[in-house]
């Protein structure tokens, strides 16, 4: 990782390296950097264990910390990922919710590490900020009934057509 002034630190319960590799495999412009091993035993690990790992997701730098079970992720922190089409929305949603992840409402989901994600098609944002406030409200109303966002259903709602 280049010398940056700031990186977001994400606290994992012993799975920081696994998470870094999962994110790098799931998102483009992502990679796993250097793993830093603890020189001594510490409360949740032994000397030689990975204590932090550098990684990036969509070009954003992170540090994964194997900090132990004391702190858990919650929805107060989430990552909003903008998608260009339904195929990308489906691919990311399925990757994040598979293997122990969980679906939620309105494009929110959690990965198997407990981190919250919002998978948001750019088209949804365009509809919700449309100059046609009624059409935007219909699209938002349809979105509120969804888990994974269905762009075709949003388009139908936006156009005033019945949503199946």
pLDDT, averaged per 10 consecutive residues of the chain (164 residues), comes to: 78 97 98 97 92 96 94 94 98 97 97 97 96 96 97 97 78
Q: What is the pLDDT of residue 138?
A: 96
CATH fit for domain 78-159, picks 3.10.180.10, 2.60.40.1180, 3.40.50.10320, 1.10.420.10: 3.10.180.10
For residue 130, how many other CB atoms are within 10 A of its CB?
A: 14
**Residue extent(s) of CATH 3.10.180.10 domains in the chain:** 8-66, 78-159
Q: What is the pLDDT of residue 163?
A: 73
Q: What is the pLDDT of residue 42?
A: 87
Q: What is the pLDDT of residue 5?
A: 82
Q: What is the pLDDT of residue 29?
A: 97
CATH number 3.10.180.10 is the correct assignment for the domain at 8-66: yes
Q: What is the pLDDT of residue 1?
A: 52
Q: What is the pLDDT of residue 3?
A: 65
């Amino acid at each position: 990782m280049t010398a940056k002034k700031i990186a977001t630190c994400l606290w994992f319960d012993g799975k920081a390296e696994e998470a870094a590799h999962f994110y790098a495999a799931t998102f483009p412009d992502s990679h796993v950097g250097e793993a830093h091993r603890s020189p001594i035993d510490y409360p949740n690990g032994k000397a030689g264990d990975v204590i932090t790992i550098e990684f990036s997701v969509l070009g954003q730098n992170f540090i994964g910390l194997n900090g132990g079970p004391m702190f858990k992720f919650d929805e107060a922190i989430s990552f909003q990922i903008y998608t260009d089409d339904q195929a990308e929305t489906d691919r990311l949603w399925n990757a994040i919710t598979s293997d122990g992840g969980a679906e939620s409402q309105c494009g929110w989901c959690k990965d198997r590490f407990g981190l919250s994600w919002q998978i948001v098609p750019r088209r949804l944002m365009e509809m919700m900020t449309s100059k046609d406030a009624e059409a935007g409200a219909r699209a938002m109303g349809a979105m509120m009934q969804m888990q994974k966002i269905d762009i075709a259903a949003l388009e139908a709602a936006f156009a005033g057509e019945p949503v199946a």
